[in-house]
Amino acid sequence: MSMPSEFLVMRNISKTFPGVRALSGVTISLNKGEVLALVGENGAGKSTLMKILGGVYQAGEGDIFIDGQEAAIHTPLDSRKYGISMIFQEVNLVPTLSIAENMFLGKELAGGILGRLDRNTMRKKSAEVLARLDCGNLNTAALVKDITLAKQQMVEIAKSLMNQSRIIVMDEPTSSLTGAEAEALFSIINTLKEQGIAVIYISHKLEEIERISDRIIVLRDGKFIAELDNSKKNVEKNLIVKHMVGRDLTDFYPAGNAIIGEEILKVVNLGLKGKFNRVSFNLRQGEILGFSGLIGAGRTELAKTIFGEFKKDEGEIYLSGKPLKIENVRDAIKEGITLIPEDRKREGLVLCLSLADNICLPNAGEVSSAGVVSRGKKNALVRRFINELQIRPALPNRTAIDFSGGNQQKAVIAKWLVKNPKILVLDEPTRGVDVGAKSEIYALMRRLTEKGVGIIFISSEMPELIGICDRILVMNEGRINGEFKKGKMDQNAIMAAAAGI
């Protein structure tokens, strides 16, 4: 059978999990030296398709061809033998080993009579590969735990080159990177292209997709929807979104109808040693107060201190004019303060428990009668929030780890909405979340403000801060360094304040 000239072809790929058709006859192709963007809402099938390519899952139907020959990929090892490397959001390195030891993990070089590790040669060869990525300044003897996340990703890419990878799959690679670090990654991707290496790039940041991709393939509900030629970098974001969600997203940042009321939260000279100091601000009923700043500015630590996870070293917190003594998280929850954490997988969910159990975990009182969990109350509560937040698939007994990132985030939000909070703190709630789910989160925020809830919204995405917030406070090195009100939010000025200029 003659095959197309493309380097990689995944033809008519289908995959079914219990109760869910994840992929239905999807066909994609990839050329050498090409950046192919794979986009779609959470649950569209992107990760499933890539896990089939990576040998993690087996396709129920369909075939994979590499260089015109059918490829038998049954395990991750098979995938690597074909020159395929997968780089996920969470780097897959051993933190207590050096850069060189990680790059040679499983294929260590030994020498001498006693067969000791030849660390000098390993470091030298690792440095040579890193130099191909313009990262030759990295000390290959440094422990991975002592280098930044951005540099860890560079090590992952270098490791794939050492494995002679011809296809590198990058899944949300910039989700935890600063702007400068993301720029460095884009430069490396261009270097990979020049070397004939193909990249499959998955991201919910459409600005990145528009910038670096040569072609864009859109999946929706496990099906191939569209292929867009972006070789001239002229594909409009609105067109990508329309294909992804199957409709135009009107009012992506919904206008607020809430009446901003009285002051509900007041923070005076709050400090946490080594993280932030003498921070003062207020939050009003029905207001969305944004926090901008670079990584390390102290935003997350501030949020966790208000929530009682960290114990303040100085300052006062007032709720509706009353001084609060928050010693722990339980105290904050009793006062109506809840937090959606930055890392939903590690801090927001118990991934091995079901969706229903995660929603009910902090809400035993709401689903119990005489101290015994009522199945009827539990089912009613869970079904209510599945419907209100449109959690898909609507399977309450499915484990949390098996849901997409956007639906996992909805589960975290749901468990705290049960508490009817007065103040909701959202720390990077749209990170790794598709545009459809983002739109739903923004709409939910506005609905909550109409009920008088005050919202603190921490984000590293400038467009959403400007689009959804009533005010923005900018943090720099643990201090408030600027305030911007609706209608006077200038992106350049906000960035300057974040940089301490």
- 193 and 100 in a common domain: yes
pLDDT truncated to tens, each residue of the chain (501 aa)?
Answer: 333 457 899 999 999 987 678 899 999 999 999 999 999 877 788 989 999 999 999 999 999 999 999 999 999 999 989 999 988 766 788 999 999 999 998 888 886 566 688 888 999 999 998 888 777 788 999 999 898 877 888 888 888 888 888 999 998 888 767 777 788 889 889 988 998 999 999 988 888 999 999 999 999 889 999 999 999 998 988 888 888 877 665 667 888 778 899 999 999 999 999 999 999 999 999 999 999 998 789 999 999 999 999 999 999 999 999 999 999 999 999 999 999 998 888 899 999 999 999 999 999 888 888 778 888 999 999 999 999 998 888 899 999 998 877 889 999 999 999 999 999 999 999 887 878 788 889 999 999 999 999 999 999 888 889 999 999 999 999 999 999 999 899 888 998 898 887
Query: Measured in Å, how far apart are the chain's first and last C-alpha atoms?
Result: 63
- 281 and 226 in a common domain: no
C-beta atoms surrounding 57 within 10 Å: 18
Q: What pLDDT sits at residue 2?
A: 37
The strand ranges marked E within 194-284 are: 198-202, 215-220, 223-229, 263-272, 276-284
**Residue 167 sits in which domain range?**
8-245
- 226 and 146 in a common domain: yes
| Amino acid in the structure at residue 191 | T
Q: What pLDDT sits at residue 452?
A: 95
- 464 and 390 in a common domain: no
- 464 and 393 in a common domain: no
251 assigned to some structural domain? no
Q: Which of 60, 79, 77 is nearest to 14 (CA)?
A: 60
Q: Which residues of 374-411 are buried (b: 16+ CB within 10 A; e: fewer)?
A: eeeebeebbeebbeebebbbebbebbbebbbbbbbbbb
For residue 396, cis peptide bond before it (omega within 30 degrees of 0): no
250 assigned to some structural domain? no
At 460, list the tokens: 């590293």
66 assigned to some structural domain? yes
Domain-ending residue, one of 245, 278, 299: 245
How many structural domains compose the chain? 3
CATH number of the domain bearing residue 211: 3.40.50.300
2 assigned to some structural domain? no
- 223 and 179 in a common domain: yes
443 assigned to some structural domain? yes
List CB contacts of 196: < 8 A, sequence separation 6 or more. Answer: 32, 33, 166
- 480 and 499 in a common domain: yes
- 362 and 276 in a common domain: no
Q: Which of 269, 324, 306, 317 is nearest to 479 (CA)?
A: 269
- 194 and 87 in a common domain: yes
Q: What pLDDT sits at residue 4?
A: 41
Domain-ending residue, one of 420, 439, 471: 420
- 190 and 137 in a common domain: yes
The Cα angle at residue 61 between residues 59 and 63, in degrees rounded to 5: 80
100 assigned to some structural domain? yes
Q: Is 226 exposed, middle or buried (0-12, 13-18, 19+ CB in 10 A)?
A: middle
36 assigned to some structural domain? yes
List CB contacts of 169: < 8 A, sequence separation 6 or more. Answer: 50, 53, 54, 84, 85, 86, 87, 199, 200, 202
The whole-angstrom distance between residue 350's C-alpha and the CA centroid of its chain comes to 17
341 assigned to some structural domain? no
At 223, list the tokens: 């099906």
- 175 and 114 in a common domain: yes
- 139 and 28 in a common domain: yes
Domain-ending residue, one of 372, 390, 420: 420
Single pTM value for the model = 0.69
Rounded to the nearest 10 degrees, how much is the dihedral formed by the CA atoms of 489, 491, 493, 497?
100
DSSP state of 259: P
